Structure 1
């Protein structure tokens, strides 16, 4: 199922369950959306809906779409057209992950700024690799970006972060992240390695469990930490440091989890 359609279907079910009757619109390229493959959805503080597609970033005001694409001759345009994730900071700037690297969008200037990071030698480098996921923790004034090379930690308001090494190296794929506020840690899934954790206090990234070494997404819900892979979905037991059996009887690829209340809902 198309991810945007899935989102709207889930919204409809939630509204019906609440006993409310709101109009539901189906949005696609005929409505002005740049591409029907939607990877990320975000609503900013002004009420705008943002859709990250395989061909551009879309802002929706309830009536019309405004599309942002990379323009080769414009250094202030977005770095890439394939959008993987969207997050907001405390100043209402958008942090947008693309396959060409993450950027920060300033709405007042209508410009995109690329991000940089300090490597293990304290050298500043451009962050121009795929950003899979971005999570902001406003209470701690920090933003964590999961990329094709490492996780990078930023202080809100700054555009140069610190790359966190794993086993002394930065060359690892941080495929997905999820924040556990109670434990003050980020769960990080590293491709080819397994489930890890980044401890905010110690600033160290360590391995938790290597039973599953390939995953597309992870998400912490009231039920626990879900792992979505090409094989199916698994629930992590942090007390026993074990995974459940596959929740699907047959191979069933999972690439994104959505949650509504206490129920976990997943999208292919």
Structure 2
């Protein structure tokens, strides 16, 4: 797959196959979603709130409720599968999930609706998306 076929950029930093079988490609110039036939591309939007907060994508995660979490060079964004939009300010999403407000750096799905979420401030949250219960380990202590 190349930009000639519709990919937003030829340099791919990360990929994700979500639960709906879309293939996501994070690149230096934005995000591409492939449905098996064609690409839908997403790029930086100066519209605060909707669209990517910056173009370089370093990581993609499938989070609770099937949303795609997009680590841009500036902050985490979320693609809302139900609304079909990328949300820059994810505080409301974090609030609904009963997660701490902040900037998640990465998410790991452990299966059975359990996640580990590492924030930029080094706090680690263990989260059950069914019960919305969380355990916050803050700050993350690393022994030297």
TM superposition score normalised by structure 1: 0.43
| Residue 40 in structure 1 maps to residue 36 in structure 2 | no
In structure 2, the CA distance between the partners of 1:163 and 1:57, relative to structure 1 (3 Å rule), is: farther
SS in 1 for 2:7: coil
Shift of 1:105: 1.4
Tell me which residue corresponds to 1:81.
Answer: 55
Q: What secondary structure is seen at the aligned counterpart in 1 of 2:142?
A: strand
Unaligned runs of 5+ in 2: 95-99
**2-structure distance, mates of 1:46, 1:71:** 25
Give 1 or 2 for the bigger CA radius of gyration: 1
Matching residue of 1:134:
107
- How far apart in 2 are the matches of 1:73 and 1:140? 33
- Which structure has the higher relative contact order (CA within 8 Å, separation 6+)? 2
Match of 1:150 in 2: 122
Shift of 1:137: 2.2
TM-score, L = length of structure 2:
0.74
Q: Give 1:125 deviation, angstroms.
A: 5.4
- Contact 1:56 1:82 (C-alpha < 8 Å) held by counterparts: yes
Give structure 1 stretches of 5+ with no counterpart. Answer: 1-26, 118-123, 167-204, 211-268
- Partners of 2:118 and 2:39 lie apart in 1 by 27
How much does 1:89 deviate? 2.6
Is 1:69–2:43 an aligned residue pair? yes
Structure 1 CA distance, aligned partners of 2:8 and 2:115? 31
Aligned partner (choices 203, 206, 211) of residue 142 of structure 2: 206
Q: Tell me if the contact between 2:52 and 2:77 (Cα under 8 Å) persists in the aligned partners.
A: yes
Q: Distance in 2 between matches of 1:36 and 1:163?
A: 39
- The structure-2 alpha-carbon separation of the partners of 1:79 and 1:151, relative to structure 1 and needing over 3 Å to count, comes to farther
Q: How many residues align?
A: 132
Instruction: Return the offset for 1:162.
Output: 5.1
How has the CA–CA distance of structure 1 residues 138 and 54 changed in structure 2, closer, same or farther, with 3 Å as cutoff? same
Q: CA 1:36 to 1:108, structure 2 compared with 1: closer, same or farther past 3 Å?
A: same
RMSD: 2.8
